[in-house]
Structure 1
Amino acid sequence: MTATHHGHIRLAGASLGRHRHICAFFHNSKEGFEILGPFILDGLRCEHKAVHLVSADKREDHITRLRCEGIDTDASQLTGQLEIRTTVDAYLKDGLFDQDRMVEEFSAMASGNASGAFPLSRIVCDMDWAADTPEHLQDLIEFESRVNELWEQHDDIVVCVYDLARFDGGTVVNIMRTHPLVLIGGILRENPFYIPPTQFLAELSERRSEKGGQSAAAE
Protein backbone atom coordinates (compact mmCIF):
# COMPACT_ATOMS: atom_id res chain seq x y z
CA MET A 1 0.00 0.00 0.00
CA THR A 2 1.20 3.50 -0.74
CA ALA A 3 2.23 5.80 2.10
CA THR A 4 -0.82 8.03 2.04
CA HIS A 5 -4.28 6.96 3.09
CA HIS A 6 -5.87 9.95 1.34
CA GLY A 7 -7.28 11.43 4.53
CA HIS A 8 -9.73 9.91 6.97
CA ILE A 9 -12.10 7.65 5.07
CA ARG A 10 -15.08 6.53 7.10
CA LEU A 11 -17.58 3.74 6.72
CA ALA A 12 -20.37 2.95 9.19
CA GLY A 13 -18.95 5.58 11.56
CA ALA A 14 -15.47 4.02 11.68
CA SER A 15 -12.21 5.26 10.14
CA LEU A 16 -10.48 2.93 7.72
CA GLY A 17 -6.82 2.17 8.23
CA ARG A 18 -4.39 -0.09 6.40
CA HIS A 19 -6.88 -2.91 5.68
CA ARG A 20 -9.60 -1.99 3.21
CA HIS A 21 -11.03 -5.28 1.91
CA ILE A 22 -14.37 -5.59 3.67
CA CYS A 23 -17.14 -8.18 3.79
CA ALA A 24 -20.41 -6.43 4.54
CA PHE A 25 -23.40 -8.49 5.67
CA PHE A 26 -26.94 -7.17 5.40
CA HIS A 27 -30.42 -8.64 5.42
CA ASN A 28 -31.61 -6.76 2.32
CA SER A 29 -30.59 -4.07 -0.18
CA LYS A 30 -32.39 -1.30 1.69
CA GLU A 31 -30.49 -1.99 4.90
CA GLY A 32 -27.23 -2.12 2.98
CA PHE A 33 -27.76 1.17 1.19
CA GLU A 34 -28.60 3.01 4.40
CA ILE A 35 -24.98 2.42 5.41
CA LEU A 36 -23.26 2.38 2.03
CA GLY A 37 -25.09 5.39 0.55
CA PRO A 38 -23.30 8.03 2.65
CA PHE A 39 -19.97 6.26 2.05
CA ILE A 40 -20.54 6.35 -1.72
CA LEU A 41 -21.61 10.01 -1.68
CA ASP A 42 -18.61 10.99 0.42
CA GLY A 43 -16.30 9.27 -2.05
CA LEU A 44 -17.74 11.15 -5.02
CA ARG A 45 -17.39 14.43 -3.14
CA CYS A 46 -13.74 13.54 -2.44
CA GLU A 47 -13.23 12.96 -6.17
CA HIS A 48 -12.68 9.25 -5.70
CA LYS A 49 -13.78 6.88 -8.42
CA ALA A 50 -16.87 4.77 -7.69
CA VAL A 51 -17.04 1.30 -9.24
CA HIS A 52 -20.26 -0.58 -8.54
CA LEU A 53 -20.82 -4.19 -9.55
CA VAL A 54 -24.55 -4.90 -9.28
CA SER A 55 -26.86 -7.62 -10.53
CA ALA A 56 -28.73 -6.67 -13.70
CA ASP A 57 -32.14 -6.83 -12.01
CA LYS A 58 -30.98 -4.36 -9.33
CA ARG A 59 -29.33 -1.81 -11.62
CA GLU A 60 -32.25 0.60 -11.98
CA ASP A 61 -33.09 0.40 -8.29
CA HIS A 62 -29.44 1.04 -7.47
CA ILE A 63 -29.35 4.13 -9.69
CA THR A 64 -32.56 5.40 -8.07
CA ARG A 65 -31.03 5.02 -4.60
CA LEU A 66 -27.91 6.89 -5.73
CA ARG A 67 -30.06 9.73 -7.03
CA CYS A 68 -31.93 9.85 -3.72
CA GLU A 69 -28.54 10.47 -2.07
CA GLY A 70 -28.21 13.55 -4.26
CA ILE A 71 -25.84 11.97 -6.80
CA ASP A 72 -26.11 13.06 -10.43
CA THR A 73 -25.64 9.58 -11.86
CA ASP A 74 -25.74 10.69 -15.51
CA ALA A 75 -23.05 13.34 -15.09
CA SER A 76 -20.89 11.09 -12.90
CA GLN A 77 -20.99 8.30 -15.45
CA LEU A 78 -20.17 10.69 -18.31
CA THR A 79 -17.03 11.90 -16.51
CA GLY A 80 -16.03 8.33 -15.70
CA GLN A 81 -16.14 8.94 -11.96
CA LEU A 82 -19.04 6.50 -11.57
CA GLU A 83 -18.87 3.14 -13.28
CA ILE A 84 -21.76 0.68 -12.91
CA ARG A 85 -21.22 -2.84 -14.23
CA THR A 86 -23.36 -5.93 -13.97
CA THR A 87 -22.01 -8.69 -11.78
CA VAL A 88 -22.51 -11.32 -14.48
CA ASP A 89 -20.38 -9.31 -16.94
CA ALA A 90 -17.72 -8.79 -14.28
CA TYR A 91 -17.59 -12.16 -12.54
CA LEU A 92 -19.05 -14.68 -14.99
CA LYS A 93 -17.66 -13.92 -18.41
CA ASP A 94 -18.93 -16.63 -20.78
CA GLY A 95 -20.71 -18.14 -17.77
CA LEU A 96 -17.47 -19.06 -16.01
CA PHE A 97 -15.81 -17.74 -12.88
CA ASP A 98 -12.08 -17.61 -13.56
CA GLN A 99 -9.96 -16.62 -10.56
CA ASP A 100 -6.95 -15.54 -12.60
CA ARG A 101 -9.09 -13.39 -14.88
CA MET A 102 -10.76 -11.78 -11.87
CA VAL A 103 -7.41 -10.91 -10.30
CA GLU A 104 -6.56 -9.17 -13.59
CA GLU A 105 -9.97 -7.44 -13.65
CA PHE A 106 -9.55 -6.02 -10.16
CA SER A 107 -5.94 -5.11 -10.81
CA ALA A 108 -7.15 -3.01 -13.73
CA MET A 109 -9.69 -1.31 -11.44
CA ALA A 110 -7.04 -0.45 -8.85
CA SER A 111 -6.25 3.25 -8.61
CA GLY A 112 -2.58 2.75 -9.39
CA ASN A 113 -3.43 1.12 -12.72
CA ALA A 114 -6.80 2.54 -13.79
CA SER A 115 -6.80 5.40 -16.26
CA GLY A 116 -8.12 8.77 -15.15
CA ALA A 117 -7.37 11.41 -12.59
CA PHE A 118 -8.98 9.78 -9.56
CA PRO A 119 -6.67 9.23 -6.56
CA LEU A 120 -8.34 6.00 -5.46
CA SER A 121 -11.38 3.84 -6.06
CA ARG A 122 -14.25 2.84 -3.80
CA ILE A 123 -15.45 -0.48 -5.19
CA VAL A 124 -18.77 -1.95 -4.06
CA CYS A 125 -19.59 -5.50 -5.17
CA ASP A 126 -23.03 -7.10 -4.91
CA MET A 127 -22.32 -10.78 -4.30
CA ASP A 128 -25.84 -12.14 -4.95
CA TRP A 129 -24.57 -13.73 -8.15
CA ALA A 130 -22.67 -16.26 -6.02
CA ALA A 131 -25.88 -17.37 -4.32
CA ASP A 132 -27.43 -17.87 -7.77
CA THR A 133 -24.48 -19.97 -8.95
CA PRO A 134 -23.44 -22.09 -5.93
CA GLU A 135 -21.17 -24.21 -8.14
CA HIS A 136 -18.74 -21.27 -8.10
CA LEU A 137 -18.73 -20.73 -4.33
CA GLN A 138 -15.55 -22.64 -3.53
CA ASP A 139 -13.61 -20.86 -6.25
CA LEU A 140 -15.02 -17.53 -5.07
CA ILE A 141 -13.91 -18.13 -1.48
CA GLU A 142 -10.41 -19.01 -2.68
CA PHE A 143 -10.38 -15.88 -4.84
CA GLU A 144 -11.53 -13.68 -1.95
CA SER A 145 -8.46 -14.85 -0.06
CA ARG A 146 -6.07 -14.49 -3.01
CA VAL A 147 -7.17 -10.97 -3.87
CA ASN A 148 -6.05 -9.66 -0.46
CA GLU A 149 -2.49 -9.75 -1.81
CA LEU A 150 -3.57 -7.29 -4.52
CA TRP A 151 -5.46 -4.93 -2.23
CA GLU A 152 -2.57 -4.77 0.23
CA GLN A 153 -0.69 -2.93 -2.52
CA HIS A 154 -3.34 -0.23 -3.02
CA ASP A 155 -5.34 2.31 -1.04
CA ASP A 156 -8.63 1.41 -2.71
CA ILE A 157 -11.60 0.36 -0.58
CA VAL A 158 -13.40 -2.81 -1.67
CA VAL A 159 -16.73 -3.69 -0.07
CA CYS A 160 -18.11 -7.15 -0.87
CA VAL A 161 -21.83 -7.09 -0.02
CA TYR A 162 -23.41 -10.38 1.05
CA ASP A 163 -27.11 -10.91 1.79
CA LEU A 164 -27.31 -12.99 4.97
CA ALA A 165 -30.60 -14.51 3.85
CA ARG A 166 -28.96 -16.02 0.76
CA PHE A 167 -25.88 -17.78 2.16
CA ASP A 168 -25.66 -20.62 4.66
CA GLY A 169 -23.68 -20.42 7.88
CA GLY A 170 -20.68 -22.37 6.61
CA THR A 171 -20.31 -20.08 3.61
CA VAL A 172 -20.62 -16.96 5.79
CA VAL A 173 -17.85 -18.25 8.06
CA ASN A 174 -15.54 -18.90 5.09
CA ILE A 175 -16.29 -15.47 3.65
CA MET A 176 -15.38 -13.89 6.97
CA ARG A 177 -12.11 -15.81 7.05
CA THR A 178 -11.06 -14.15 3.79
CA HIS A 179 -11.68 -10.49 4.70
CA PRO A 180 -9.60 -8.49 7.19
CA LEU A 181 -12.57 -6.24 8.00
CA VAL A 182 -16.19 -7.19 8.59
CA LEU A 183 -19.30 -4.98 8.62
CA ILE A 184 -22.20 -6.68 10.38
CA GLY A 185 -25.06 -5.34 12.45
CA GLY A 186 -24.17 -1.88 11.14
CA ILE A 187 -20.76 -1.99 12.85
CA LEU A 188 -17.40 -2.11 11.07
CA ARG A 189 -14.60 -3.86 12.93
CA GLU A 190 -11.32 -5.70 12.56
CA ASN A 191 -12.24 -9.28 11.74
CA PRO A 192 -11.02 -11.75 14.41
CA PHE A 193 -11.77 -14.66 12.06
CA TYR A 194 -9.55 -13.39 9.24
CA ILE A 195 -6.77 -15.72 8.07
CA PRO A 196 -3.98 -14.33 5.84
CA PRO A 197 -3.92 -15.71 2.27
CA THR A 198 -0.78 -17.83 2.65
CA GLN A 199 -2.25 -19.74 5.59
CA PHE A 200 -5.82 -19.91 4.26
CA LEU A 201 -4.81 -21.15 0.82
CA ALA A 202 -2.50 -23.75 2.35
CA GLU A 203 -5.43 -25.02 4.44
CA LEU A 204 -7.62 -25.24 1.34
CA SER A 205 -4.95 -27.17 -0.53
CA GLU A 206 -4.58 -29.59 2.39
CA ARG A 207 -8.33 -30.17 2.58
CA ARG A 208 -8.50 -30.90 -1.13
CA SER A 209 -5.63 -33.35 -0.87
CA GLU A 210 -7.39 -35.14 1.99
CA LYS A 211 -10.65 -35.34 0.04
CA GLY A 212 -8.80 -36.59 -3.00
CA GLY A 213 -7.15 -39.28 -0.92
CA GLN A 214 -10.45 -40.33 0.63
CA SER A 215 -12.11 -40.52 -2.79
CA ALA A 216 -9.29 -42.68 -4.14
CA ALA A 217 -9.47 -44.97 -1.12
CA ALA A 218 -13.23 -45.43 -1.59
CA GLU A 219 -12.86 -46.60 -5.18
Structure 2
Amino acid sequence: MVRRVEAPPERKPLEGCHSSVVFSDDRQWTEHLVAFVRGGLENGEQVKYVVDATAPERVMRALTDAGIDAVDAVTRGQLSVTAAPQPHRADAGFDQDAMIGSWHDAAEGARASGYQGLRAIGEMSWGARDSIGADRLLEYELRLHHELFPQLPLQVRCFYDRRLMSDAYVSVLASAHLTHLGEPHSVPALRVAPLTDRPGLLLSGSAGYDTRDAVAAAAAVVSGVAAPQVELDLSALRHLDAASLAVLADAAAVRPGGTPLKVRKAPSPLRRLLQLFPELDSAVEVVDR
Protein backbone atom coordinates (compact mmCIF):
# COMPACT_ATOMS: atom_id res chain seq x y z
CA MET A 1 0.00 0.00 0.00
CA VAL A 2 1.52 3.31 -1.06
CA ARG A 3 1.86 6.03 1.52
CA ARG A 4 0.97 9.31 -0.18
CA VAL A 5 1.95 12.03 2.29
CA GLU A 6 1.88 15.78 2.00
CA ALA A 7 5.19 17.59 2.13
CA PRO A 8 5.77 19.40 5.43
CA PRO A 9 5.67 23.22 5.46
CA GLU A 10 9.47 23.33 5.74
CA ARG A 11 11.25 20.65 3.78
CA LYS A 12 14.63 19.46 4.91
CA PRO A 13 17.45 19.97 2.36
CA LEU A 14 17.27 17.07 -0.07
CA GLU A 15 20.69 17.35 -1.71
CA GLY A 16 22.68 14.27 -0.83
CA CYS A 17 19.67 12.26 0.30
CA HIS A 18 19.21 10.58 -3.09
CA SER A 19 22.31 10.45 -5.28
CA SER A 20 23.24 8.77 -8.54
CA VAL A 21 26.62 7.05 -8.65
CA VAL A 22 27.93 6.29 -12.15
CA PHE A 23 31.01 4.09 -12.60
CA SER A 24 32.63 1.88 -15.22
CA ASP A 25 35.17 -0.23 -13.34
CA ASP A 26 35.57 -2.21 -10.13
CA ARG A 27 37.90 0.32 -8.50
CA GLN A 28 35.29 3.08 -8.69
CA TRP A 29 32.59 0.73 -7.43
CA THR A 30 34.73 -0.21 -4.44
CA GLU A 31 35.58 3.39 -3.55
CA HIS A 32 31.95 4.51 -3.50
CA LEU A 33 30.83 1.37 -1.68
CA VAL A 34 33.44 1.60 1.08
CA ALA A 35 33.08 5.33 1.71
CA PHE A 36 29.30 5.22 1.99
CA VAL A 37 29.12 2.10 4.14
CA ARG A 38 31.94 3.20 6.46
CA GLY A 39 30.28 6.58 6.99
CA GLY A 40 26.99 4.96 7.87
CA LEU A 41 28.47 2.49 10.33
CA GLU A 42 30.50 5.20 12.05
CA ASN A 43 27.46 7.50 12.28
CA GLY A 44 25.35 4.85 13.97
CA GLU A 45 23.10 4.31 10.96
CA GLN A 46 21.79 1.06 9.63
CA VAL A 47 23.19 0.22 6.19
CA LYS A 48 21.61 -1.90 3.46
CA TYR A 49 23.11 -2.95 0.12
CA VAL A 50 20.58 -4.30 -2.39
CA VAL A 51 22.46 -6.32 -5.01
CA ASP A 52 21.46 -7.15 -8.55
CA ALA A 53 24.48 -8.12 -10.66
CA THR A 54 26.96 -8.40 -7.79
CA ALA A 55 27.28 -11.44 -5.55
CA PRO A 56 26.72 -10.57 -1.87
CA GLU A 57 29.99 -12.36 -1.03
CA ARG A 58 31.88 -9.93 -3.26
CA VAL A 59 30.39 -6.95 -1.44
CA MET A 60 31.36 -8.40 1.92
CA ARG A 61 34.88 -9.18 0.71
CA ALA A 62 35.39 -5.63 -0.62
CA LEU A 63 34.33 -4.16 2.73
CA THR A 64 36.52 -6.55 4.69
CA ASP A 65 39.54 -5.85 2.47
CA ALA A 66 39.02 -2.13 3.20
CA GLY A 67 39.32 -2.73 6.95
CA ILE A 68 35.60 -2.80 7.78
CA ASP A 69 34.44 -5.61 10.05
CA ALA A 70 31.49 -6.39 7.79
CA VAL A 71 30.79 -9.79 9.36
CA ASP A 72 30.41 -8.26 12.81
CA ALA A 73 28.18 -5.48 11.41
CA VAL A 74 25.93 -8.09 9.80
CA THR A 75 25.83 -10.13 13.02
CA ARG A 76 24.77 -7.05 15.01
CA GLY A 77 22.07 -6.21 12.45
CA GLN A 78 23.62 -2.90 11.43
CA LEU A 79 24.56 -4.10 7.93
CA SER A 80 22.74 -6.27 5.42
CA VAL A 81 23.69 -7.30 1.88
CA THR A 82 20.73 -8.92 0.16
CA ALA A 83 19.14 -9.54 -3.23
CA ALA A 84 16.45 -7.18 -4.46
CA PRO A 85 13.06 -7.65 -2.76
CA GLN A 86 10.26 -9.24 -4.76
CA PRO A 87 8.66 -5.97 -6.04
CA HIS A 88 12.10 -5.01 -7.38
CA ARG A 89 12.95 -8.20 -9.23
CA ALA A 90 12.85 -8.47 -13.00
CA ASP A 91 11.01 -11.80 -12.97
CA ALA A 92 8.24 -10.44 -10.73
CA GLY A 93 7.69 -7.06 -12.36
CA PHE A 94 8.39 -3.71 -10.75
CA ASP A 95 5.76 -2.44 -8.31
CA GLN A 96 6.52 1.20 -7.48
CA ASP A 97 4.01 1.47 -4.66
CA ALA A 98 5.26 -1.68 -2.97
CA MET A 99 8.87 -0.48 -3.21
CA ILE A 100 8.06 2.92 -1.75
CA GLY A 101 6.17 1.22 1.05
CA SER A 102 9.15 -1.03 1.75
CA TRP A 103 11.46 2.00 1.98
CA HIS A 104 9.15 3.55 4.57
CA ASP A 105 9.12 0.32 6.55
CA ALA A 106 12.92 -0.05 6.38
CA ALA A 107 13.68 3.54 7.43
CA GLU A 108 11.14 3.52 10.23
CA GLY A 109 12.42 0.11 11.32
CA ALA A 110 15.99 1.39 11.51
CA ARG A 111 14.94 4.26 13.73
CA ALA A 112 12.81 1.99 15.90
CA SER A 113 15.86 -0.25 16.38
CA GLY A 114 17.84 2.65 17.80
CA TYR A 115 19.84 3.68 14.72
CA GLN A 116 20.27 7.28 13.65
CA GLY A 117 18.75 6.50 10.28
CA LEU A 118 19.12 4.29 7.23
CA ARG A 119 21.67 4.32 4.43
CA ALA A 120 21.05 2.18 1.38
CA ILE A 121 22.75 1.33 -1.90
CA GLY A 122 20.70 -0.07 -4.75
CA GLU A 123 22.17 -1.55 -7.91
CA MET A 124 20.06 -0.27 -10.81
CA SER A 125 21.25 -2.63 -13.55
CA TRP A 126 17.99 -4.62 -13.28
CA GLY A 127 16.19 -1.67 -14.89
CA ALA A 128 18.03 -2.18 -18.16
CA ARG A 129 16.55 -5.63 -18.57
CA ASP A 130 13.20 -6.38 -20.16
CA SER A 131 11.18 -6.53 -16.97
CA ILE A 132 7.57 -5.53 -16.38
CA GLY A 133 7.35 -1.96 -15.09
CA ALA A 134 10.99 -1.04 -15.69
CA ASP A 135 9.85 1.54 -18.23
CA ARG A 136 8.45 3.53 -15.28
CA LEU A 137 11.73 3.65 -13.39
CA LEU A 138 12.16 7.39 -14.03
CA GLU A 139 8.76 8.04 -12.47
CA TYR A 140 9.78 5.98 -9.44
CA GLU A 141 13.07 7.88 -9.00
CA LEU A 142 11.18 11.19 -9.10
CA ARG A 143 8.49 10.01 -6.70
CA LEU A 144 11.12 9.17 -4.10
CA HIS A 145 11.98 12.85 -3.65
CA HIS A 146 8.40 13.71 -2.69
CA GLU A 147 7.32 10.59 -0.86
CA LEU A 148 10.43 9.53 1.10
CA PHE A 149 13.19 11.99 1.79
CA PRO A 150 11.30 14.97 3.23
CA GLN A 151 9.89 12.71 5.95
CA LEU A 152 12.44 9.99 6.67
CA PRO A 153 16.02 9.66 8.04
CA LEU A 154 17.17 8.07 4.80
CA GLN A 155 20.06 8.35 2.35
CA VAL A 156 20.10 6.34 -0.87
CA ARG A 157 22.81 5.84 -3.47
CA CYS A 158 21.64 4.47 -6.83
CA PHE A 159 24.54 2.62 -8.46
CA TYR A 160 24.68 2.75 -12.27
CA ASP A 161 27.26 0.44 -13.84
CA ARG A 162 28.04 1.62 -17.38
CA ARG A 163 29.21 -1.86 -18.29
CA LEU A 164 25.65 -3.13 -17.85
CA MET A 165 23.53 -0.18 -19.00
CA SER A 166 23.39 2.04 -22.08
CA ASP A 167 24.67 5.61 -21.86
CA ALA A 168 21.26 6.96 -22.88
CA TYR A 169 19.52 5.05 -20.11
CA VAL A 170 22.05 6.15 -17.52
CA SER A 171 21.81 9.81 -18.56
CA VAL A 172 18.02 9.94 -18.19
CA LEU A 173 17.96 8.26 -14.77
CA ALA A 174 21.06 9.89 -13.30
CA SER A 175 19.73 13.31 -14.28
CA ALA A 176 16.68 12.71 -12.09
CA HIS A 177 18.83 12.93 -8.94
CA LEU A 178 19.73 16.17 -7.17
CA THR A 179 23.25 14.97 -6.44
CA HIS A 180 25.55 13.12 -8.82
CA LEU A 181 28.70 11.23 -7.83
CA GLY A 182 31.22 9.33 -9.89
CA GLU A 183 31.76 9.68 -13.61
CA PRO A 184 30.03 12.45 -15.55
CA HIS A 185 27.05 11.51 -17.66
CA SER A 186 25.61 13.08 -20.78
CA VAL A 187 22.62 15.41 -20.62
CA PRO A 188 19.46 13.78 -22.01
CA ALA A 189 17.32 15.49 -24.65
CA LEU A 190 14.74 16.11 -21.93
CA ARG A 191 15.90 16.27 -18.36
CA VAL A 192 13.29 15.78 -15.65
CA ALA A 193 14.57 16.56 -12.17
CA PRO A 194 13.03 17.41 -8.80
CA LEU A 195 13.11 20.99 -7.55
CA THR A 196 15.52 21.52 -4.69
CA ASP A 197 13.41 23.59 -2.30
CA ARG A 198 9.75 22.79 -2.97
CA PRO A 199 7.59 20.00 -4.35
CA GLY A 200 7.76 19.96 -8.11
CA LEU A 201 9.80 19.25 -11.19
CA LEU A 202 12.20 21.06 -13.50
CA LEU A 203 11.93 20.20 -17.20
CA SER A 204 14.81 21.29 -19.38
CA GLY A 205 15.71 20.61 -22.98
CA SER A 206 13.17 19.54 -25.59
CA ALA A 207 9.92 17.63 -25.08
CA GLY A 208 8.74 15.78 -28.17
CA TYR A 209 8.01 12.38 -29.63
CA ASP A 210 11.41 10.92 -28.69
CA THR A 211 10.99 11.96 -25.05
CA ARG A 212 7.38 10.84 -24.56
CA ASP A 213 8.37 8.35 -21.82
CA ALA A 214 10.05 11.11 -19.79
CA VAL A 215 7.02 13.38 -20.25
CA ALA A 216 4.73 10.56 -19.11
CA ALA A 217 6.89 10.08 -16.00
CA ALA A 218 6.70 13.79 -15.18
CA ALA A 219 2.94 13.81 -15.69
CA ALA A 220 2.46 10.79 -13.43
CA VAL A 221 4.35 12.53 -10.63
CA VAL A 222 2.45 15.80 -11.13
CA SER A 223 -0.91 14.03 -10.97
CA GLY A 224 -0.01 11.90 -7.96
CA VAL A 225 1.93 14.07 -5.50
CA ALA A 226 -0.40 14.96 -2.64
CA ALA A 227 1.38 18.17 -1.60
CA PRO A 228 -1.04 21.14 -1.63
CA GLN A 229 1.26 23.08 -3.95
CA VAL A 230 3.29 21.52 -6.75
CA GLU A 231 5.31 23.48 -9.29
CA LEU A 232 6.39 22.64 -12.81
CA ASP A 233 9.36 24.82 -13.81
CA LEU A 234 9.55 25.10 -17.61
CA SER A 235 11.98 28.02 -17.73
CA ALA A 236 14.72 25.85 -19.28
CA LEU A 237 12.45 24.12 -21.79
CA ARG A 238 13.31 24.96 -25.41
CA HIS A 239 10.49 23.06 -27.09
CA LEU A 240 7.17 21.52 -26.05
CA ASP A 241 5.13 19.71 -28.70
CA ALA A 242 1.36 19.46 -28.69
CA ALA A 243 1.23 15.85 -27.51
CA SER A 244 3.49 16.55 -24.53
CA LEU A 245 1.49 19.65 -23.71
CA ALA A 246 -1.73 17.62 -23.66
CA VAL A 247 -0.21 15.00 -21.35
CA LEU A 248 0.93 17.63 -18.85
CA ALA A 249 -2.40 19.48 -19.01
CA ASP A 250 -4.29 16.24 -18.33
CA ALA A 251 -2.05 15.60 -15.32
CA ALA A 252 -2.78 19.06 -13.93
CA ALA A 253 -6.52 18.51 -14.34
CA VAL A 254 -6.54 15.39 -12.13
CA ARG A 255 -4.40 16.70 -9.29
CA PRO A 256 -5.44 15.29 -5.88
CA GLY A 257 -8.21 17.33 -4.30
CA GLY A 258 -8.30 19.65 -7.30
CA THR A 259 -5.25 21.55 -6.09
CA PRO A 260 -3.76 23.62 -8.96
CA LEU A 261 -0.42 23.01 -10.59
CA LYS A 262 1.87 26.03 -10.62
CA VAL A 263 3.68 26.41 -13.93
CA ARG A 264 6.68 28.71 -14.00
CA LYS A 265 7.59 30.37 -17.31
CA ALA A 266 4.78 28.72 -19.24
CA PRO A 267 5.61 28.54 -22.97
CA SER A 268 3.30 30.22 -25.47
CA PRO A 269 1.59 26.95 -26.55
CA LEU A 270 0.45 26.38 -22.96
CA ARG A 271 -0.81 29.95 -22.66
CA ARG A 272 -2.81 29.51 -25.87
CA LEU A 273 -4.25 26.26 -24.53
CA LEU A 274 -5.43 28.02 -21.38
CA GLN A 275 -7.11 30.67 -23.50
CA LEU A 276 -8.88 28.05 -25.62
CA PHE A 277 -9.99 25.97 -22.61
CA PRO A 278 -10.88 28.29 -19.70
CA GLU A 279 -11.86 25.28 -17.60
CA LEU A 280 -8.12 24.61 -17.14
CA ASP A 281 -7.77 27.86 -15.19
CA SER A 282 -8.63 26.04 -11.98
CA ALA A 283 -6.03 23.36 -12.68
CA VAL A 284 -3.10 25.48 -13.83
CA GLU A 285 -1.68 28.62 -12.25
CA VAL A 286 0.91 30.40 -14.40
CA VAL A 287 3.75 32.03 -12.46
CA ASP A 288 6.15 34.23 -14.42
CA ARG A 289 8.46 35.53 -11.75
* Common fold: TM-score over 0.5: yes
Give, in angstroms, the shift of residue 94 of structure 1.
6.2
Q: Distance in 2 between matches of 1:57 and 1:106?
A: 21
Q: Distance in 1 between matches of 2:71 and 2:127?
A: 29
Which residue matches 2:104? Answer: 107
Q: Distance in 2 between matches of 1:134 and 1:96?
A: 6
Which residue matches 2:183? Answer: 185
Structure with the largest fraction of helix: 1
| Larger RCO (CA within 8 A; separation ≥ 6) | 1
Q: TM-score, normalised by structure 1?
A: 0.74
Which residue matches 2:55? Answer: 58
Q: Deviations over 1:61-80 (max 9, x none)?
A: 11100111222222211221
**Superposed counterparts of 1:1-219, under 5 Å:** 18-19=14-15, 20-55=17-52, 57-87=54-84, 89=86, 91-92=88-89, 95-111=92-108, 114-133=111-130, 136-149=133-146, 150-185=148-183, 195-196=193-194, 198-199=200-201, 203-204=215-216, 205=219, 207=244
Q: Distance in 2 between matches of 1:91 and 1:63?
A: 22
- Contact (CA 8 Å) 1:50, 1:122: kept in 2 or not? yes
Distance 1:57 1:34, change over 3 A: closer
Structure with the largest fraction of strand: 2
Q: Deviations over 1:56-103 (max 9, x none)?
A: 652111110011122222221122100222025461286121011011
Q: Distance in 1 between matches of 2:71 and 2:40?
A: 16
Q: Distance in 2 between matches of 1:148 and 1:88?
A: 21
Give, in angstroms, the shift of residue 126 of structure 1.
1.1
Q: Distance in 2 between matches of 1:42 and 1:88?
A: 24
Distance 1:92 1:115, change over 3 A: farther
- Contact (CA 8 Å) 1:108, 1:114: kept in 2 or not? no
Deviates more, 1:32-41 or 1:155-164: 32-41
Amino acid at match of 1:121: L
Q: Deviations over 1:28-58 (max 9, x none)?
A: 3431112331221122122111111012652
The percent identity for this pair of structures is 23
Q: TM-score, normalised by structure 2?
A: 0.57
Which structure 2 segments of 5+ residues have no match? 1-6, 185-190, 204-212, 220-242, 248-289
Distance 1:184 1:171, change over 3 A: same
SS in 2 for 1:166: coil
Matched pairs, number: 192
Q: Distance in 2 between matches of 1:180 and 1:115?
A: 28
